[in-house]
Structure 1
Amino acid sequence: MVGAMKTKFDKYWGECNLLMAIAAILDPRCKMTVIEYCFPKMYSKEEAREKIKKVKDALYELYDEYVADMYSDTSTQSEQIIDNTDRRSGVKVASGWSEFIQHVKSAQTSKPQQSELSNYLEEGCHICEDMSTPFDALEWWRTSALKYRILSKMARDILAIPVSTVASEATFSAGGRVIDAYRASLNADTVQTLICGGDWCRSLHGVKRKNKSEKKPLEIMLPIP
């Protein structure tokens, strides 16, 4: 039993969950400080250093994807605006507005020397003055969207992912489950159909579910004569 519990514990906590780590960093109250504080408590010194680097590399790699996507969209939109402007004017010569849009396009497609992510991480953590009021990280990013145009979109996509939880006794239970690793890909309708079908079959054949509250009958061992 202890061996099975240890295996499950290592499965959930032995590996670093990159998504959870990045979500914690995108909480302005935590940033990289929470990773640098917690990982040495969870892993050995060398392992903590490697995992911190792994999280930081994944964070910047993900941010670079958002940057590339943002600038490609900006370039496409600028070209569409120029085409529509020239089409409405009916002339092939570049107008003053199209020249301005072209200037904006070249300015926006040139990446800044320091990224929004670097600026965000270099700033101090956000400290809540009123600890009794719940902090809304998504609201903080909404109000900071002008300052962090790209990073706020990335934070919104990650922090909006719902987190699933499970009770500790269910996590380390050795009993059978309705949804196990082999049926985890079933959709909700299929799962509901299977559970209802099982209940109907038990009812049809008079089979009752085991009730944990029911006490087992007392067994008396009699000596064999």
Structure 2
Amino acid sequence: MEVFDVDSHLREWENDVKFCVMVGKMREKFNKYWGDFMNLNMYTYFALILDPYIKMQSVRNGIEILMSYDQKPEIMNDEFDCMVDDKKGLNEKAFGDLYAQYKAREGERSRIPSKKLVNEVAPSQSKAVNDFLFGREGGSYKVATELEKYLNEPREELHPGFDILLWWKLNGPRFPTLAKTTKDILAL
């Protein structure tokens, strides 16, 4: 989030005669690491997704802000929304793939999401119990993965002193694979 704040200040000060030379050098350095969102390291996006008060919802907002600075006004329409959604989709897929790799390392199922047919009767479950639990119509239900559970939970409230490492330490037992992923990504 601080990156957006720095970018905002640089944009504000670029046109100020007193600061334009200094800001030009700062902008050059900033752009080297953060300026081109299309070439921004995916792990930067992953770190945002793993931040419990940002998650995936704010990643789209950030992508939209970064893209809007460089777009011509005539592109700011449905085409622009498609570009933003495409970039967000690439991030989601890449993060899902990373999550799957971590799950595979643990020896658990690595594909997301997993599905089970409702009308299949488990060996220890009678047809009557299956009908009671899931109805006679049959169909399927989706088993939520750890990643889906994390992303679907409400975001944490933003407050001073929030400690992401402490949050993951306390919530690691609920999300063990994501906690391991977070540990590795935040160490970068």
TM-score range, shorter chain: 0.5 to 0.7
Which residue of 1 is the match for residue 111 of structure 2? none
> Bigger CA drift: 134-143 or 55-64?
134-143
Is 2:31 the counterpart of 1:9? yes
Structure with the largest fraction of strand: 2
Work out the CA distance in 1 between the residues paired with 2:145 and 2:66. Answer: 30
* Cα distance between partner residues in 2 of 1:42 and 1:60: 23
Residue correspondence of structure 1 range 10-89 to structure 2 within 5 A: 12-14=34-36, 15=38, 16-43=40-67, 44-71=80-107
Alignment coverage as a number of residue pairs: 117
TM-score, normalised to structure 1, is: 0.46
Over 3 Å counting, the alpha-carbon distance change for 1:160 and 1:135 in structure 2 is farther
State the Cα distance separating 1:41 from its structure 2 match.
1.6
**CA–CA distance in 2 between the matches of 1:12 and 1:137?**
22
State the one-letter code of the partner of 1:45.
D
Give the drift of 1:160. 2.2
Find the partner of 1:144 among 171, 174, 184.
171
TM-score by length of 2: 0.55
Bigger radius of gyration among the two: 1
Q: CA deviation at 1:47?
A: 2.0
**Runs (4+) off by over 3 Å:** 8-12
Percent of aligned positions with the same letter in both sequences? Answer: 26
Q: Distance in 2 between matches of 1:158 and 1:125?
A: 20
Q: How many Å separate the matches in 1 of 2:187 and 2:34?
A: 22
Alpha-carbon distance between aligned partners in 2 of 1:11 and 1:71, rounded to the nearest angstrom: 36
For 1:177, the equivalent position in structure 2 comes to none
Q: Residues 143 and 52 from structure 1, CA distance in 2 versus in 1: closer, same or farther, beyond 3 angstroms?
A: same
Question: Pairwise CA RMSD of aligned residues?
Answer: 2.6
Match status 1:153 vs 2:183: no
Give the aligned residue type for 2:168: W
Question: Per-residue displacement from partner, 1:66-95 (whole Å, max 9, x unpaired)?
Answer: 0000126xxxxxxxxxxxxxxxxxxxxxxx
Q: Give me the whole-angstrom Cα distance separating, in 1, the residues matched to 2:154 and 2:186.
A: 20
